[in-house]
Amino acid sequence: MANEMSDPTYPIVEEIAGYWNMDTEFSEEEAVALVKQAFSLHPEYAEAYKREFVEAYRDRSYSWMSLFSRLNAHYPPSEEVARIYAKKMLWDAVFDASGGDVGH
């Protein structure tokens, strides 16, 4: 039997992405505000998240589509659209312009 969780895991990224879970009933704006608040209270956690997000984003074997599906957060039509959404919501929105570049 194949392991359906074969993606590399990025626990901090997955925890933060959970704020966008449809079951939480947070709007995208509310999710961003909550994450920003948590990061302002715990800057070391924000730094760990930045490092892990960059690693996950650069890891082409990591499936953002799978992550969003598991979290019931977003249902993009393709892996590329899922990557774009991840960068938009989990990086650009959270760090405004201050987060730096995550690479390709």
**Could you report the per-residue pLDDT of 35-82, keeping only the tens digit for each?**
999 999 999 999 999 999 999 999 999 999 999 999 888 788 999 999
For residue 1, being part of any structural domain is answered with no
Domain extent, residue 32, equals: 11-95
Q: How far apart are CA 69 and CA 82, in angstroms?
A: 10
> Is residue 4 domain-resident?
no
The count of structural domains within the chain is 1
Residue 3 has pLDDT above 80, yes or no: no
User: What global pTM score does this model have?
Assistant: 0.83
Confidence of residue 2 (pLDDT cuts 50, 70, 90): very low
Residue 63 is assigned to a structural domain of this protein: yes
Q: Which residues have C-beta within 8 Å of that of residue 89, sequence separation ≥ 6?
A: 20, 28, 31, 32
Residue 6 lies in a domain: no
Contact 31, 92 (CB under 8 A): no
38 falls within a domain: yes
